[in-house]
Amino acid sequence: MANCSHSDIYSDLPPLPTYQTSLMPSLIPVIPDKLLTVILPIAAYWALSMLFHWIDTMDYFPQYRLHTPAEVSSRNKASRWEVVRDVVVQQAIQTAVGWGLGMTEPDDLIGKEEYDIAVWARRIRIAQRLLPTLLAFVGLDAKGLAKNFNQSHPLLAVFMLGGRSSTLSAASTDPNRFMNQGSDFTAWEKTLARAIYWVIVPAIQYGIAIVVVDAWQYFLHRAMHMNKWMYTTIHSRHHRLYVPYAYGALYNHPLEGLLLDTLGASVAYKLAGMNTRQGMWFFTASTFKTVDDHCGYALPWDPLQHLTSNNAGYHDVHHQSWGIKTNFSQPFFTFWDRALGTVWTGGDVSARYEKARIAAQKKADQGSEKTTITHSNVTDSASQDPRPYQDDKDNATDLASMPLKDQQPFPPAGKAELQAAGSRQQILDDKNGGGPQVLIQEAAEEKEARSLLRREGRRRTASSLSQTDSLRGLKDRVTGSMHGRAGALIGMESNR
């Protein structure tokens, strides 16, 4: 078995370049990056929110609305002024924490990039030198393999020899063609090192930040729903918006805003080892996603709504009386909901989603599977494990006294029925948020939505029948006309 000593691995490595650092210029010359890091997410929040508000007020894309404008006014328990006030309070807290976090960070520097890339190139070189030992460990002869590949794939041959082309006499007439030992790195080593430094490492950092913030928000968010005191005292304020809209995304109790959003993103940023500029983009992207998830539209051409299944339709379920104890995941992926069985399983149970679903389906390819707004399948209710909702129906003691007519929409039997019972009981627990009146009002809206769908269905059927009759009459008239002309033509022929 080939042996590779410590001195052999680290000998003849190309030297690292010298460097001199200086402060990284600000993205916007008059605003320091640390200040821009707290300004940009707030600017992004209001810019995207006002875009959706403009769409709302101009009544563009009504076919993709999840709820009607009348529902926004009638079902929400917080005025728009209260929403703006609480969002501004949260953003003030967010700014203070963000500025403090920035002060703990060193200034971003430039000038060391080529040195860091060379360090990665050295690691690549060292990894190559370990390869013959690893091949020998599994019973393969590195020199023999290199000799076989030398003519057809000379670079691969050198790689198998641990990057030492001079150890293979027939490697090339120029033994330094692929490895200039002790003086410089090869072109492919530099290219790979640059890709690692500029692309792979930042991608891993962003990935870590996304995983951390998703986990942080899922478990804390779920705790706020499972603990009655936390829900009624803190989190219920956010759920006074039963019909979400864009600039209500951060309408929270100040303590919730600090714990769930501000600290969650800050911890993710720290654990991912990001610099100030990376944090700026991460915080801004998270803000865009949060606003989009509360926009109230199922837009088929919105890229943020199709990168993952965690979008406006998915999160809207969480704001409804029948789904408030489901779909806790935010802001990026739905992994924790699906892994722990808290995803809504009742399909597009509400008639209010039907108009948006039909419009979205028309935009989809005819061969694609049926579009759903909630990203759930009604058949899942019967097939999925009822945990963690197995006791929710038995514990919904107040709900049992509510008439069935005030418990619409009716979820399918199975897990969705348990989820809806637990969710509605939570609404009844929040007396300050409306309690039974919320269920009564939503049931009335649901009945109106179903009645509207039936009327539209009858109009479409009548219109279709009318068009069919018109086409049939046109066909009869054309056929009669042609028969008459044919007779005349035949008569003309017979008279000849």
- Phi, psi dihedrals of residue 352, rounded to the nearest 5°: -70, -20
Encoding tokens for residue 429? Answer: 């627990």
Q: From the first residue on, what is the mean pLDDT of each consecutive set of 10 residues in the chain (496 residues)?
A: 60 88 95 96 97 95 90 91 97 95 92 96 89 82 78 75 57 43 77 97 98 98 96 95 95 96 96 96 96 94 89 95 96 96 91 69 54 84 93 93 91 94 94 90 87 73 56 51 42 40
- Phi, psi dihedrals of residue 380, rounded to the nearest 5°: -65, -25
Q: How far is CA 344 from CA 2, 145, 239, 314, 361, in A?
A: 58, 55, 17, 9, 21
Q: What is the pLDDT of residue 130?
A: 84
Q: Around Cβ 467, how many Cβ atoms within 10 Å?
A: 10
Beta bridge partners of 28: 31
Q: Give CA torsion, residues 268, 269, 273, 278, to 10 deg.
A: 140
- Rounded to a whole number of angstroms, the distance between the first and last alpha carbons of the chain is 109
CA distance 384 to 343: 10
- Phi, psi dihedrals of residue 465, rounded to the nearest 5°: -65, -40
pTM given for the model: 0.84
CA distance 275 to 102: 10
Q: What is the pLDDT of residue 169?
A: 46
Helix or strand or coil: residue 13?
coil
Cα angle: 344, vertex 222, 404; to 5 degrees: 45
Q: What is the pLDDT of residue 455?
A: 77
Beta bridge partners of 109: 23
Helix or strand or coil: residue 324?
coil
Instruction: Kindly tell me the sign of the dihedral angle through the C-alpha atoms of 274, 275, 278, 284.
Output: positive
Please say whether the beta carbons of 165 and 175 come within 8 A: yes
Encoding tokens for residue 15? Answer: 């030297």
Please say whether the beta carbons of 386 and 418 come within 8 A: yes
Secondary structure letter of residue 16 according to DSSP:
P
Cα radius of gyration (the chain) = 32
Please say whether the beta carbons of 65 and 355 come within 8 A: yes
Helix or strand or coil: residue 8?
helix
CA distance 70 to 60: 15
Angle (deg, nearest 10), helices 263-271 and 276-293? 140
CA distance 149 to 165: 13
CA distance 420 to 75: 18
Q: What is the pLDDT of residue 40?
A: 97
- DSSP letter for each residue of 366-410: TTSPPP-SSS--TTHHHHS--TT-TTHHHH-TTGGGS-GGGSPSP
Beta bridge partners of 297: 65
CA distance 276 to 447: 52
Cα angle: 402, vertex 404, 410; to 5 degrees: 125
CA distance 297 to 96: 32
Please say whether the beta carbons of 53 and 247 come within 8 A: yes
SS (H, E, C) 148-163: HHCCCCHHHHHHHCCC
Q: What is the pLDDT of residue 181?
A: 46
CA distance 352 to 409: 10
Q: What is the pLDDT of residue 461?
A: 60
Tell which residue, 368, 316, 254, 370, has the closest CA to residue 72.
Answer: 316
CA distance 184 to 469: 83
